[in-house]
């Protein structure tokens, strides 16, 4: 790519300002994505601790919604109850009909509780197959994340799964494990790749 001394376009500054105003949400998206990638890595290799990380990823993706809606919320002061977080998010974004994911959320609440063997609320049985219910939920949450498209592609989930599009097809571990055998995500990848090209042209036209 040939570099010029042209200043970044206004869209770049808009995104920069949005990141500054919503730093809590964008940082949380990065951590949620790390948890999700690690969850998939573990579960695809038959390791049940991935269910705990799956619960953590759900919590953080949902809290990102709350923080995008109100950047002044103190994330440490928010509830850790996944059903409550789901309900709060659903009330703010009723068009998403998040209540239909309540059974899945309850299942991962039990998985999270089972990280201690003496917890009576923990899962009675565990299966790595729950990953294939987690995947559609996580993909749905990120597809509908309440932030501008150009922001979405520069942090968290979409930033990770498009890394190889820019850097000579190098696929980092997070991207590999998010994509590997992800039946919910695979059909969307051609459109995501096309959107990524558009986003990068909008943000960095002098480099394209």
62-99 pLDDT, tens digit per residue, is 999 999 999 998 877 777 889 999 999 999 999 999 99
* pLDDT at site 120: 85
Percent of the chain with pLDDT strictly greater than 90: 75
* pLDDT at site 80: 81
pLDDT: which is higher, 95 or 8 = 95
Report CA 18 to chain centroid distance, whole Å: 18
Residue 8, pLDDT above cutoff 70: no
CA distances from 138 to 37, 93, 119, 184, 194 (A): 11, 16, 27, 9, 21
Residue 59, burial from CB neighbour count under 10 angstroms (0-12, 13-18, 19+): buried
Range with lowest mean pLDDT among 4-8, 117-121, 165-169: 4-8
Residue 13, pLDDT above cutoff 90: no
3-state secondary structure of 60: helix
Q: How confident is the model at residue 38 (pLDDT cuts 50, 70, 90)?
A: very high
Q: How confident is the model at residue 1 (pLDDT cuts 50, 70, 90)?
A: very low
Q: Which two tokens stand for residue 123?
A: 């899962």
Percent of the chain with pLDDT strictly greater than 70: 93
Nearest to 27 by CA among 195, 159, 192: 159
Residue pair 68/22 in contact (Cβ under 8 Å)? The answer is yes
Per the prediction, the chain carries an average pLDDT of 90
Residue pair 83/48 in contact (Cβ under 8 Å)? The answer is no
* pLDDT at site 9: 45
* pLDDT at site 125: 86
Q: How confident is the model at residue 46 (pLDDT cuts 50, 70, 90)?
A: very high
Over residues 145-150, mean pLDDT? 92
């Amino acid at each position: 790519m040939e570099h010029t001394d042209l200043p970044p376009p206004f869209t770049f500054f808009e995104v920069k300002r949005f990141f500054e105003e919503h730093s809590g949400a964008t940082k949380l998206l990065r951590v949620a994505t790390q948890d999700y990638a690690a969850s998939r890595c573990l579960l695809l290799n038959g390791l049940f601790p991935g269910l705990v990380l799956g619960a953590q990823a759900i919590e953080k993706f949902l809290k990102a919604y709350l923080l995008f809606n109100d950047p002044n919320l103190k994330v440490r002061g928010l509830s850790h109850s996944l059903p409550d977080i789901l309900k709060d998010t659903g009330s703010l974004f009723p068009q998403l009909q998040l209540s239909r994911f309540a059974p899945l959320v309850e299942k991962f609440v039990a998985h999270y509780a089972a990280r201690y063997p003496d917890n009576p609320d923990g899962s009675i049985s565990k299966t790595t197959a729950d990953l294939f219910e987690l995947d559609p939920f996580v993909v749905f949450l990120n597809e509908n994340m309440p932030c501008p498209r150009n922001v979405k592609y520069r942090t968290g989930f979409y930033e990770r799964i498009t890394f190889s599009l820019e850097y000579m097809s190098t696929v980092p571990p997070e991207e590999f494990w998010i994509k590997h055998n992800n039946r919910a995500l695979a059909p969307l990848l051609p459109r995501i790749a096309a959107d990524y090209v558009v986003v990068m042209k909008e943000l960095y036209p002098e480099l394209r």
